[in-house]
Structure formats: C-alpha cells, structure tokens
Amino acid sequence: MKRVAVFTSGGDAPGMNACIRAVVRGAIYHEVEIFGIRYGYDGMIRGDIFQMSSHSVSNIVQRGGTILKSARSKEFTTPEGRRKAYEQLRKWGIEGLIAIGGDGTFTGASIFYNEYELPTVGAPGTIDNDLYGTDYTIGFDTAVNTALEAIDKIRDTADSHDRVFFIEVMGRDSGYIAIQSGIGGGAELVMVPETLTSVDDVIATLKQGWDRAKTSSIVVVAEGEEEGTAHEIADKVKEHLKQKDLRVTTLGHVQRGGRPSAFDRILASRLGLGALEGLLAGQKNVAAGIINDKLVYTDFKDAISKEKPLNPDLIRMVNILSI
Ligand code: F6P
C-alpha cells in the first residue's frame, strides 16, 4: 500500500490531533504517501484532499480540536454520496483509509467498506467512551477532567450558599463521563442511562444527606438520562423540596475542547500508529483499540453494536461514598 488518507469525523475530541500526527509520522516512517481529508466524509465527497508532510503535523500534539476539521455528513449516508466519495479517492489514488471518530464514523466506514472494499482502519475518537473494543476512547480522559474542574468550582459556590446543583454532562447515551466525573467530584448522586434512578430516589438521597448535616449537594446527570435533562429533573425535585435552593448547570461543549491530557495524547498516539500499522499489515474494516494495555483490532460491526457496560463497581461506589 503506497497511498493512505486520514480524516476525522463526527464530534471532535481532545487528542484527535495527536492521533493525526501519529498516523502521518508513522506513514512517513513506513515510506507511505499520506493525505489528509478535511471535514470528514463531506470533504471526501468534495475531494477536499491534500498531501501531508511531517511538517504539517508539527506543534499539534498539545492542541485540542482537529486540524483536519470535522463534520457530521448527511450526504455520505446516501449511496450517491458514497459513490462520489469513492470516485474522489480513486482519483487521488488512495488505497487505504484511517478513520478517526466515534460510532457514526465507524458506521459510515463499515458501510463504505462493504460497498467498495477499500481497506479502512478506525481509531476510536470520542469523548463519550461508548465504543466496544477499547478500554478508553481518545478524548474521554480530557473531557472527564474538564467536567471535574467545573464540578470542583461549582462545589465551592454550592457550599457557600447551601445549594443543590444539578450538573449535566455529555456522553450521548452513555454514562461514562457522568460516573467518572461524579466519583472524582464527590457527587451525592450520579444519574446515568445505564441504571434506573427515579426522581423519588433523588429526593430520598438528598434528604438523607441533609439528615446527616450536609448543607449542599451535587447531582451529576448524564445527558442521556431517562428521567430527562438536568433542568427537567431539577424542576420535578423542586416541587417536593421547596425549602431548598436549586440550581442547574449544563456543561455542554466545553467538555469537547481544550488541551488533551497526557493520557489522551499517549492513547491517541498509540491508536494512530496502531491503526496505520494495522492497515499496512492487511487489517481492514476494523477499529484499533487498547485493552489491558495491548493493541487489538475489533470488527467495525462489533465496535459499533456491542455493549460496553459501565463497571458496576463504580455505580455501587457512588452510593457508598455519598453517605
Ligand atoms: O459524541 C460526542 C458528543 O459531544 C456527545 O456527547 C453529544 O451528545 C454530541 O456529541 C453533541 O453533538 P453536537 O456537537 O453535534 O451538538
């Protein structure tokens, strides 16, 4: 294989740049021509493709976001869009692809592979950590630390005013960011889509804390929580706890930006090089991952569809530690 292209797609994640750098430098090391595709699948369709050099990835290992830009492409979900993308890749003589992104990216890559058999290897990049086949995804650690920093700050003001704060974190349908930032931030309660927590449970837990002389409380709510958004849950709780001052903070996209942590930079470098070397060694239609510190490859199909459950020990621990 002599010509490989790399792209980032879907929601960006801190560490994607470190991953791109590893792919590019790895390709140059292995004497493969490397091309960047801007704006993910949209850029592939438009032919927004350029040759990359070692210099094009200088000074990016520490930067959040993605120098290749990203997009969620509607057109690539159509057979016509994918055909245009394939024609562009053929025009550029691309023989293999490295797709950096989350489940939407891998779903697109898998459909594309099944149609055109262009060898593709994925590197899991999403703050949600919701992909099977890797213990951690690129960006998750940084997002948790960003959320944690915010929770620490909110705790200060919650404490000064004896308030209850509902803090909503990202994660789409997964509670990974919520459970980890909740434990790290000493939350009284963490509400995740993976377990049932009713509004009555929330009220009971808060009251239990006050009976034990707690004056302020933090409830971390995953955005995919079944009971609703943090605002909706806070409104329901308020109906029953009129005497308490409640506030809601939705952390939002702040969790997607910022300098990647050391953990994410190293993980991204390993996954980027692992994806590239896998591709050159004949891997296709798979995602690179790290499980128990070992590089592994998992079929896109499994990476997207298999469950990666939250560690039940963590869920149990929140309840014990919040006493
Ligand atoms: O998948 C990453 C993520 O940040 C999710 O946690 C969140 O649900 C979603 O992307 C937000 O997407 P967008 O940036 O398109 O609003």
CB contact set of 276 (below 8 Å; sequence gap of 6+): 4, 22, 23, 26, 27, 30, 32, 98, 121
Residue intervals in the chain for CATH 3.40.50.450: 3-139+260-305
- Res. 176 pLDDT band, cuts 50 70 90: very high
How far is 214 from 132, CA to CA, in rounded Å?
39
- Res. 115 pLDDT band, cuts 50 70 90: very high
Nearest to 167 by CA among 133, 111, 217: 217
Name the residue of 106, 131, 170, 221 to mutate for ligand 1: max ligand atoms within 8 A of Cβ: 170
CA dist 19 → 12, 65, 123, 155 (Å): 12, 11, 8, 34
- Res. 323 pLDDT band, cuts 50 70 90: confident
On whether the CB atoms of residues 143 and 170 are closer than 8 A, the answer is: yes
Atom 2 (ligand 1): residue with closest C-alpha? 11
Atom 13 (ligand 1): residue with closest C-alpha? 11
Is the model's pLDDT at 322 over the cut of 90?
A: no
Tell me the pLDDT tens digit for each residue of 53-73.
999 999 999 999 999 999 999
Is the whole model's pTM more than 0.95, yes or no? yes
CA dist 153 → 12, 81, 167, 268 (Å): 25, 46, 12, 29
Atom 12 (ligand 1): residue with closest C-alpha? 11
- B/e letters for 100-120, b = 16+ CB within 10 Å, e = fewer, are bbbbbbbbbbbebbeeeebbb
Neighbours of 43 (CB within 10 A): 24
Q: Kindly give the pairing relationship between strand 96-101 and strand 49-51.
A: unpaired
- Res. 249 pLDDT band, cuts 50 70 90: very high
DSSP string, 231-283: HHHHHHHHHH-TTSEEEEEE-GGGGG-SPPPHHHHHHHHHHHHHHHHHHHTT-
On whether the CB atoms of residues 28 and 34 are closer than 8 A, the answer is: yes
Is the model's pLDDT at 105 over the cut of 90?
A: yes
Both tokens assigned to 173? 């349908």
CATH architecture of 143-256: 3-Layer(aba) Sandwich (3.40)
Rounded to the nearest angstrom, the gap between the alpha carbon of residue 139 and the centroid of all alpha carbons in its chain is 6
Which strands, in side-by-side order, build the sheet including 189-191?
189-191, 217-222, 163-169, 245-250
Supply the residues annotated as catalytic. Answer: 128
Query: Mean of the per-residue pLDDT values for the chain?
Result: 97
Tell me the pLDDT tens digit for each residue of 69-85.
999 999 999 999 999 99
On whether the CB atoms of residues 173 and 235 are closer than 8 A, the answer is: no
Q: What CATH fold (topology level) applies to the domain 3-139+260-305?
A: Rossmann fold (3.40.50)
259 marked as part of a ligand binding site: no
Looking at residue 195, what is its pLDDT? 95
On whether the CB atoms of residues 276 and 99 are closer than 8 A, the answer is: no
Tell me the Cα Rg of the chain: 22
Name the residue of 100, 105, 172, 254 to mutate for ligand 1: max ligand atoms within 8 A of Cβ: 172
Tell me the pLDDT tens digit for each residue of 127-149.
999 999 999 999 999 999 999 99
CA dist 322 → 68, 129, 175 (Å): 43, 24, 18
- Residue owning tokens 């032919």: 47
Residue intervals in the chain for CATH 3.40.50.460: 143-256
Both tokens assigned to 19? 């991953």
